[in-house]
């Protein structure tokens, strides 16, 4: 069905919700704003994160907020882990020579460290990190790597990922493993809404069997 898969990182391949929430609350506390619990954060957080911060901490420079966020994230004791079924899915793609990419808003330094610490680099042909608005990059990615849009899917866990996929003309796969509740993702009508990457892999396997 697909020759190419573009993955979001946080909430799609790795679980970093804990340290992200901790770091966000550290930034809020620094500026005298009430902190959020996990459920509230999942309902309110969105990308581009510049818009999220402008809503909750208006008028504060983004580079200042990013500085404090990154420091608090790095100091968090909550581990970042590979999500269940993520590594198996990527191995499955390697075996079938499906081309894989990452498109993430995570800052480049943190992302590159996680990529190596979690031994995930070998799975990707190219990675794009530090992307504030993914809509501005997905077309560049498709053209640079000569990917056919009708043979490509973008997998992510947030509204912005669904919107980005539609903007790029590729299939959108929304996953329930990360930052956004089901009912919120459903409102934006992704092509597929999946519990996790195992469900997506099983769908592709069934599709391949039907075609053969």
The rounded average pLDDT for each run of 10 residues, N- to C-terminus, in the chain (212 residues) is: 96 97 97 96 92 96 96 95 98 97 96 97 98 97 98 98 98 97 95 97 84 54
Q: Extract the tokens encoding 192.
A: 């597929």
Residue 63, burial from CB neighbour count under 10 angstroms (0-12, 13-18, 19+): exposed
> Is there a contact between 103 and 154 (Cβ–Cβ < 8 Å)?
yes
Sign of the dihedral defined by the CA atoms of residues 111, 112, 118, 120, in that order: positive
Nearest to 178 by CA among 195, 163, 166, 164: 195
Q: Residue 38: which residues within 8 A CB-CB, separation 6 or more? A: 17, 21
Entry pTM: 0.94
d(CA 92, CA 29): 43
The reported pLDDT for the residue numbered 212 is 52
The reported pLDDT for the residue numbered 107 is 94
Q: Residue 206: which residues within 8 A CB-CB, separation 6 or more? A: none
The reported pLDDT for the residue numbered 140 is 98
The reported pLDDT for the residue numbered 146 is 98
Measured distance between the N- and C-terminal CA atoms of the chain, rounded to whole angstroms: 12
């Amino acid at each position: 069905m697909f020759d190419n898969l573009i993955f979001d990182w946080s909430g799609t391949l790795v679980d970093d919700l804990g340290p992200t929430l901790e770091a966000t609350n550290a930034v809020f506390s620094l500026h005298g704003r009430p902190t959020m619990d996990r459920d509230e954060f999942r309902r309110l957080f969105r990308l581009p994160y510049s818009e999220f911060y402008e809503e909750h901490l208006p008028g504060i420079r983004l580079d200042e907020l990013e500085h404090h966020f990154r420091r608090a994230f790095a100091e968090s004791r909550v581990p970042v882990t590979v999500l269940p079924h993520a590594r198996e899915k990527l191995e499955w793609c390697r075996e079938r020579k499906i081309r894989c990419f990452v498109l993430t808003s995570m800052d480049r330094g943190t992302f590159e460290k996680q990529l190596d610490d979690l031994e995930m680099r070998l799975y990707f042909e190219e990675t794009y990190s530090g992307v504030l608005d993914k809509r501005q990059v997905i077309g560049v990615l498709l053209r640079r790597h000569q990917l056919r849009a009708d043979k490509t899917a973008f997998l992510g866990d947030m509204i912005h990922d669904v919107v980005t996929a539609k903007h790029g003309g590729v299939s959108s796969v929304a996953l329930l493993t990360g930052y956004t509740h089901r009912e919120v993702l459903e409102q934006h009508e992704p092509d597929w809404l999946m519990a996790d990457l195992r469900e997506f892999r099983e769908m592709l396997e069934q599709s391949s069997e039907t075609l053969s």
